[in-house]
Amino acid sequence: MPTDPTPDTRTPRKIGAVPSPTPLRRFAAIGDVHAEDARLAHVLTWLSGQDVEAVLSVGDIVDGAGDHDRCCALLRAHAAIVVRGNHERAMLANPFACQPRFIADDSLAFLAALPVTRRMPTLRGELMLCHGVGDNDHVRLHPQHQETSQAVIHALDPLLADAALRLVVAGHTHRRMVRSFPRPVGPPLIFVNPGTLHRGYPASVAIVDLGRGQVEFHEVLAEPGSPILVQPAEVVPLRA
């Protein structure tokens, strides 16, 4: 297996070329990329064979050791559904705040156009794609932690009050996670964090299969000098 199966960004296979009004059944989620272009290329090529209807990206594409422009090109070429992370926000406010010091104009235009959140229909109701928690890209939800921060509670409360919202796909912590937040009435709100591609953390990607009611986490193994591999890690059921 080649280490870096870079797709042809001129004529790639479009995973989700036009976001469909048809509710999503099975989709992929990519966590914080942080300029890991080789890992991103491999994951996107692998996902092309996984029968997913769309690829969602939680942002934080920039600020890392790899090629920022290539990451932007890959996400555009695969028609990924992307939102802005806190690192994009910082870089757009101050281009010298992130590595590298130079990024191409077309990449800057792509990043500047990213929304903070996106919503889309799924088999289980509406899904929100964001970076942190809703409009706040800097608060963190950790696995199995009780929320005591007023900032987290303030960001989470309007999502819980939105009865139409059933799923949130988010990142920021670099830790893969599925958490269910109960509501006084109706089904819970489920958060899915796919993890990250950052080389400083255990890397992973997620496939959310709403038909089967589960999240399939896959590890992305990328040791220096070895081929990049994607292998199953765990399957987590989605509680109703």
- The pLDDT averaged over each successive group of 10 residues in the chain (240 residues) is 41 44 94 97 97 98 93 98 96 75 88 97 97 96 81 94 97 96 93 96 97 98 92 92
pLDDT at 163: 94
Q: What is the distance between the alpha carbons of residues 80 and 82, in angstroms, rounded to a whole number?
A: 6
The b/e string for 11-29 (b: 16+ C-beta within 10 A; e otherwise) is ebeebbeeeeeeebbbbbb
Model pTM score: 0.89
pLDDT at 95: 73
Task: Pick one of 3.30.70.1710, 3.40.50.1820, 3.60.21.10, 3.40.190.10 as the CATH number of 26-237.
Answer: 3.60.21.10
pLDDT at 149: 86
pLDDT at 141: 92
pLDDT at 230: 98
Q: Where are the domains of the chain?
A: 26-237
Nearest to 197 by CA among 212, 168, 227, 176: 176
Query: 173 near 163, Cβ under 8 Å?
Result: no
**Which residue in the block uniquely carries the two structure tokens 């993890």?**
195
Phi and psi, residue 166, nearest 5°: -115, -30
